[in-house]
Amino acid sequence: MKKLILLFLSIIMFNCNSNAQKTEQKTYKVSKTNAEWKSQLSPIAYHVLREAGTERPFSSPLNKNYKAGIYTCAGCDTPLFKSEHKFDSGTGWPSFDREIEGNVAFGSDNKLGYSRDEEHCATCGGHLGHVFNDGPKDTTGKRHCINGAALKFIPNK
């Protein structure tokens, strides 16, 4: 019986050292304290960018913005998406068929019980939204579903 208990405890000890327990902390070019982010961002932008939240669908004025320009990160002003790559997906969030290469980073989000491809700003790490494979087939086939609260729009001059 003692050997069985020792075996059981050993298995538990080894399982506690799995890679799932280890988190990699990435350092970003723009890094601020939570207090600094809260003072700079609106409550919804803070919730989306810093807490990986989601705004209500159809709540962002950028969803129906069709002007020419650049969409930048609301946290650090990094250019993320071009207006010519925006399309109306009908989902209620601004959608793009591609990002500005190098300015958007990708990861996995398993919060809903299944894996989704998460997007965040490569400069400050702010959560932007998710990318799906149901975008326009005549371009990239991708739908970058982005929270409007995570973006600023800079019109062309």
Residues marked as catalytic = 145
Provide the sign of the torsion angle of the four alpha carbons 123, 50, 118, 55, taken in this order. negative
Residue 135: count of CB within 10 angstroms of its CB: 21
Q: Which amino acid is at 154?
A: I
Closest CA to 69 of 90, 96, 92: 96
